[in-house]
Amino acid sequence: MADGLIHFLSEDPHSPLDASGIVGDWVHDAPSSRIALSRGSAARLGLEEEASAHGVPLAVFLDRLRPQDRPLVEAALAAAGGIVEMRFETGPSDGGGGRSLVMRGRIETDGAGGPTSGSGVVIDVTEERDAERLHEQRRINRLADHAIAMRGMVEGMQRPRLGDLIDEMLTEIAFEIARLLRAEHEQSQA
């Protein structure tokens, strides 16, 4: 990979790019199976910034992703040309949870249609992911509160079927809370 292949997007934390979540850029050289990353991109992946600017083996880059995301990203980089979008989670860094990143760009091809290179931007969507999870947790907690209140109201009505239905709903809500807690735990351990 040629030196200087990667160009650095604005490093200004007050730039419109930073405000939109764009943290850097990437360039993939398919023949050499290497990927170059700007400082912000490398930092989000826990890669050494200087080495990443000159290109690291694709395997090193992929090792920073959750195992279940690696095949999807690898397939996108090997795509037969055009625009690509790769969403993935990184592994934990510095004892914290992983990051949610999106790589958007374009894959260029040779005359036979095989990939030769790709380039694009890296967008950190971790805050968006975390906000969505918090919103979902709040919704399910409100639902549980309402179901518990309904259960209390039905007890004095002598309508066992209504009580059974609310009990079924409470059981489903409990499963949903358990799913959310499991996902949160897995994310913190990833």
Query: What are the pLDDT digits (tens) for 48-90?
Result: 999 999 999 999 999 999 899 999 999 999 887 889 999 998 8
Residue spans of beta strands (DSSP E) within 65-183: 82-89, 100-109, 115-124
3-state secondary structure of 5: coil
CB 60 within 8 A of CB 47: yes
- pTM of the predicted model, to two decimals? 0.67
Q: Name the residue type at position 16.
A: P
Provide the pLDDT for residue 91. Answer: 77
Angle at the Cα of 61 from the Cα atoms of 105 and 3, rounded to 5 degrees: 70
Question: Order of strands across the sheet with 82-89?
Answer: 56-57, 34-37, 22-29, 115-124, 100-109, 82-89
